[in-house]
Amino acid sequence: MKMFATERRNVIMNILREKKRVTVKELSSHVGVSEATLRADLNKMELDGLLVRTHGGAMVKDEVSDTSFSTRAKKNVYEKSEIAKLAFEQIHEKQCILLDASSTALELARILNEHPIRLTVVTTGVLTALELKDNPNITVILIGGVLTNRSTSIEGMLGIDILDNVNIDIMFTSGNGFSVESGLTDFNLYEVELKKYIVQRSKKIISIVDSSKIGVNSSAAFATLEEIDMIITDKPINENVIDTLNKYKIDVLFPKTSTQTI
C-alpha cells in the first residue's frame, strides 16, 4: 500500500532511532519507494532539523536521537510545573478540556487531581488518563488509537469518532517547538495529524510550552498563529515576538517572578 509523505518520513525516523545510521539503499528496501524519493525526503528532513545527511544516507541528530517520553519528562521539570499552575487558572467548573500527551499536560493533570473541580477531560496521553482515573469529580475520555513506540501517547485517526460526541472548551497542547513562522510543531507526523483534527474541534487553543521550545521548528505544524489563543511559558518572550503575537491577538502568560527574556 502506497504511503503518504508524512507516513513515509515517520517510518524513516523510527528506523533511524533504532539504527542511528542508515543508507538510502537500506531505506528503499524498508519503505518500498525509489532512492530518488528517499533522497528528497532526507533532504527535507535535514532542513527540518530531524537528521544529518551523510554520504549515501543519514544519521540521527544528537538532540533528537532520544525523544522518548521518559527522557522528555525529566527536562525542565520546574518550568513545566510553573506553566501547569498558570494553565490550571484558565480552567472553570464543568468544562470539557483536552490534554495532549505532553509531559507538561501531565503536570497539569497532577494539579487537577489535587482540586475538587468537576470536569470532563479528553486526552491522548495514557499516563494522563491514569493520573486522573480515580478522581470522582473528573470524567476521563481516552482517545483510542495506536500506542506510540517509546512514548505514552495515542496516535493515528482510529479513535477520532469520539470527538463527534464531545464539545472541547479548551485544548491544552505542547509540541516539540513553537515559532512565529510555523506556530506549534512536532516531530511525530502521525501524532501531528491527530492534533490537527483536535485543533479544529476545540473552541480555544492554549499552548503550554517551556522556553526551550520557543523559536524552535520541528518537522510538521499542527496549530498556526491564527488558531492559537494563548501561550503559557516560563519566561517573558522578547518584544519582537510579542509584537507578532499581538497582531494575532494571542495572549501570553508567564510567572510574574520570571524576568529573563527568551
Burial-class residue 2 by CB neighbours within 10 Å (0-12, 13-18, 19+).
exposed
Q: How confident is the model at residue 158 (pLDDT cuts 50, 70, 90)?
A: confident
Residue 133 has pLDDT above 50, yes or no: yes
Average pLDDT (155-160) is 82
Domain 70-253: which CATH number of 3.40.50.1360, 3.30.360.10, 3.90.1170.50, 3.30.70.1450 = 3.40.50.1360
User: What gap in Å lies between CA 114 and CA 84, rounded to an integer?
Assistant: 13
Of 46-50, 102-106, 199-203, which range is least confident?
46-50
pTM listed for this prediction: 0.75
Looking at residue 262, its pLDDT comes to 74
Instruction: Say whether domain 5-64 belongs to CATH 3.40.50.720.
Output: no
Looking at residue 65, its pLDDT comes to 44
Q: pLDDT tens for residues 48-66?
A: 777 889 888 998 875 444 4
In the three-class reduction of DSSP (H, G, I as helix; E, B as strand; rest coil), residue 162 is classed as helix
Residue 146 has pLDDT above 60, yes or no: yes
Q: Domain locations in the chain?
A: 5-64, 70-253
Q: CA 217, 221, 222: angle at the middle one, nearest 5?
A: 140
User: What gap in Å lies between CA 108 and CA 22, rounded to an integer?
Assistant: 39
* 3-state DSSP percent of the chain in helix, strand and coil, to 5: 40, 25, 35
